Amino acid sequence: MHRAVADLEPFVYRAHYLTSAQADQLFTRLRTEVTWRQQSLRLFGRRVKQPRLTAWFSDPGITYQYSGLRLAANAWHAALKPLRRRLEADLGVAFNSVLLNAYRDGADAMGWHADDEPELGPHPVIASISLGATRRMLIRPAAGGRSQRMQLAHGSLLLMQGTSQAQWRHCVPRTRQQVGPRINLTFRHIRA
Ligand SMILES: O=C(O)CCC(=O)C(=O)O
């Protein structure tokens, strides 16, 4: 591993990346204009519905496979294009795709995992934007150890980089608290 990768802070949180007006507008547009799907996964030989809704946008020819799903290229929603360009300029990274997850309430969740598919490369930079209800993300070292929590608020950016996927796992657990809907966007660079 390059020393530079090891030296990068794996998870960098910025609370007010979007203004609340920008975040409100994007949240409303994505909720109402995106075609959301509840995908099924094959888990231990059974088909299980994901406990959340998803959508995917990418440049032509860019597909993504994870958890047995194959997401075909799908032209970018207009509301996402300025955010993509801003993230690329701020972070110096070219993103060619974005995965959207919608959590309808506290029963929707994302299990422990790493975004470590080969097409993301060994040390991907993933820009994660949160909109809507604040939800807790847990991170823990892949080798075992205590988990740490982060609250991902409306309009925030969580940058995952360096060893964040190779040496860490993350999840968004269910909560019994009354929480409203949330949308998360993870901008990614998929190797064609
Ligand atoms: O909803 C979130 O903040 C987490 C999303 C995530 O873990 C992923 O897309 O891989």
pLDDT tens digits, 70-87 = 888 899 999 999 999 999
- d(CA 6, CA 50) in angstroms, rounded, equals 33
98 lines ligand 1 (CB under 6 A): no
Q: What is the mean pLDDT of residues 136-149?
A: 97
Output the CA 187–ligand 1 centroid distance in Å.
Answer: 10
Domains in the chain, ordered, with CATH?
Answer: 3-188 (2.60.120.590)
Phi, psi of 114 (to 5 degrees): -125, 150
pLDDT at 2 over 80: no
Indicate which atom in ligand 1 lies nearest the CA of residue 170: 7
* Residue 6 clears pLDDT 80, i.e. is over it: no
Could you tell me if the CB of 128 is within 6 A of ligand 1?
yes
Please state the pTM of the whole predicted model.
Answer: 0.95
Indicate whether 3 pLDDT > 80.
Answer: no
Contacts 24+ apart (CB under 8 A), 28-34: 29/77, 29/79, 30/77, 30/79, 30/80, 30/100, 30/131, 30/183, 31/102, 31/181, 31/183, 33/77, 33/79, 34/77, 34/100
Q: Given pLDDT bands bounded at 50, 70 and 90, which one contains residue 116?
A: very high
From residue 144, alpha-carbon distances to 23, 84, 140 in Å are 35, 34, 7
